[in-house]
Amino acid sequence: MKVMVVGGGGREHAIISKIKENPDVEEIYALPGNGGIAADATCVPEIGATDLDGIVKFAKENPVDFAVVAPDDPLVLGCVDRLEEIGIPCFGPEAKAAIIEGSKIFSKNLMKKYGIPTAAYEVFENADDALEYIKTAPLPTVIKADGLALGKGVIIAETREQAEEAVKSMMIGGKFGKSGARVVIEEFLTGPEVSVLSFTDGKTVVPMISSMDHKRAKDGDKGLNTGGMGTIAPNPYYTPEVADECMEKIFLPTIRAMNQEGRTFKGCLYFGLMITPDGPKVIEYNCRFGDPEAQVVLPLLKTDLLTIMQAVRNETLSEVNVEFADESACCVIMASDGYPVKYEKHYAMTLPEDRTGIFIAGATLEDGTLYTNGGRVLGVTRTADTLPEAIDKAYEAVKTIHFDNEYYRKDIGHRALEALN
Ligand code: AMP
Ligand code: GLY
């Protein structure tokens, strides 16, 4: 079998590493992939993940049996629709279902309509109304750009000045382009956050092992929001009781709601949850695997990933027994110092010979040497019987990797350990 994976970050490397375990897979193409992924797949650097015409053309010229579209942008743009049109079976939602991530206004209205627990909110189409509203809104208040904004479209304003500044930058200053032309302003919720990725074919929903992201750049959850500086799984706040409540009040109602709207979701539906004093609530939906959540969840998956993905595509997920190891995982992201603001790249990297669990996010390969080529450079995942062991092993492995300018958080998993004790 030949498989095409659209995307080129650490998440895609984790997906490709897992797909490679299937003995029927003879070739994997990564569009664009990256210098590190090149060890596991044939990369096509000239075709970017949002170049839908290029992707379709490539697939016509290099027939593939199955495609996985991993990042949000191509999904929202309709990459799966385009590939299915030319007869390539895909894992990932069609554009009309990917809107669950592509528009916060859509997802908030969906949750309101179907009674799915989430923060109270208002939608604003023009800046004057939003500015008027925040004069009296309870603080802190949360301002979200409607559309995709590389995970940076959420501002938690502690003061009215910050709220005003956020509204102005998005709605007047055009900070996120069209994505910020409309905003959602919502209630500030408190409680531990849990990421639950799920496989769904629109009929069955199978939650994967839960995880915890560490979004802030600095230790102690300080500093700016990033794409994610590390993850652990499972998340100790996601108890069996919470899981049952989520299934009944959030997961199944969301699948049914999407069907009801004529937007059946097939693929990986990511539930970003907050366990509030009033129970679990949805902070956000993503239409794809999280990055770096995939880097801890997939290494714990015991069932063949490609088999699950094909069953999702063929709407036979109920026939597959999806199993996870009864273990823990920790992924530490090694970044370029200065990320997410300003950083230098193109430093030579040294890696151990055995690259198991090292998922490269941003690197180029030149004459056999890997050079850093991004804010997030790589993630190191280790699994073990217990979370403390997985964390120790991940940090041990980090010490075997070097590049100038390297930066990583030293406290990935600490909050989870506190919760366990
Ligand atoms: P998102 O991009 O929607 O995941 O939001 C980024 C982060 O902002 C989340 O992971 C939360 O930590 C925080 N956040 C988003 N919405 C809220 C909310 N209503 N209350 C409190 N924190 C929030
Ligand atoms: N790690 C958060 C996300 O992928 O959206």
409 HSE (CA, 13 A, CB side): 30
In one-letter notation, the amino acid at residue 70 is A
Taking the CB of residue 22, how many other CB atoms lie within 10 A of it?
A: 15
SS3 344: coil
Query: In testing the pocket of ligand 1, which one of 274, 282, 291, 415 has its CB within 8 Å of the most ligand atoms?
Result: 274
Q: Which residues pair with 66 in a beta bridge?
A: 3
Residue pair 351/369 in contact (Cβ under 8 Å)? The answer is no
| CA 337/CA 376 separation, integer angstroms | 9
How many angstroms separate the alpha carbon of residue 225 from the centre of ligand 2?
11
Please list, in sequence order, all residues whose beta carbon lies within 8 angstroms of the beta carbon of residue 66, skipping any fewer than 6 positions away. 1, 2, 3, 4, 88, 89, 90, 91, 306, 309, 310, 313
* CB 228 near ligand 2, within 6 Å: yes
* CB 193 near ligand 1, within 6 Å: yes
Residue pair 199/268 in contact (Cβ under 8 Å)? The answer is yes
In one-letter notation, the amino acid at residue 134 is I
* CB 48 near ligand 2, within 6 Å: no
Query: In testing the pocket of ligand 1, which one of 141, 283, 285, 286 has its CB within 8 Å of the most ligand atoms?
Result: 283
Which protein residue's CA is at the shortest distance from atom 12 of ligand 1? 193
pLDDT at 87 (0 to 100)? 98
Atom of ligand 1 nearest to the CA of 284: 3
Taking the CB of residue 127, how many other CB atoms lie within 10 A of it?
A: 17
Residue pair 287/98 in contact (Cβ under 8 Å)? The answer is yes
| CA 69/CA 184 separation, integer angstroms | 28
pLDDT at 90 (0 to 100)? 98
Going by their DSSP bridges, the two strands 369-372 and 328-336 should be labelled as: unpaired
Which protein residue's CA is at the shortest distance from atom 2 of ligand 1? 151
DSSP letters along 78-101, please? THHHHHHHTT--EES--HHHHHHH
> From first to last of its 421 residues, what are the pLDDT tens digits of the chain?
999 999 999 999 999 999 999 999 999 999 999 999 999 999 999 999 999 999 999 999 999 999 999 999 999 999 999 999 999 999 999 999 999 999 999 999 999 999 999 999 999 999 999 999 999 999 999 999 999 987 778 999 999 999 999 999 999 998 988 898 999 999 999 999 999 999 999 999 999 999 999 999 999 999 988 999 999 999 999 999 999 999 999 999 999 999 999 999 999 999 999 999 999 999 999 999 999 999 999 999 999 999 999 999 999 999 999 999 999 999 999 999 999 999 999 999 999 999 999 999 999 999 999 999 999 999 999 999 999 999 999 999 999 999 999 999 999 999 999 999 8
In one-letter notation, the amino acid at residue 264 is T
* CB 213 near ligand 2, within 6 Å: yes
280: phi then psi, degrees, rounded to nearest 5? -70, 135
pLDDT at 128 (0 to 100)? 95
Query: In testing the pocket of ligand 2, which one of 75, 144, 193, 293 has its CB within 8 Å of the most ligand atoms?
Result: 293
How far apart, in Å, are the Cα atoms of 192 and each of 121, 233, 295? 20, 14, 21
Q: Of 242, 235, 383, which Cα lies nearest the Cα of 301?
A: 383
Atom of ligand 2 nearest to the CA of 288: 4
| CA 257/CA 278 separation, integer angstroms | 22
Go through the chain and tell me how many residues it has: 421
Q: Of 385, 381, 414, which Cα lies nearest the Cα of 396?
A: 381
Which protein residue's CA is at the shortest distance from atom 4 of ligand 2? 290
How many angstroms separate the alpha carbon of residue 154 from the centre of ligand 2?
13
Please list, in sequence order, all residues whose beta carbon lies within 8 angstroms of the beta carbon of residue 146, skipping any fewer than 6 positions away. 103, 104, 105, 179, 180, 181, 182, 183, 184
Query: In testing the pocket of ligand 1, which one of 107, 141, 154, 216 has its CB within 8 Å of the most ligand atoms?
Result: 154
Atom of ligand 2 nearest to the CA of 292: 1
Through-space distance between the first and last CA atoms of the chain, rounded to whole angstroms: 46
Taking the CB of residue 244, how many other CB atoms lie within 10 A of it?
A: 10
Q: Which residues pair with 335 in a beta bridge?
A: 376, 407
SS3 363: strand
User: Which residue matches tokens 């191509």?
Assistant: 74
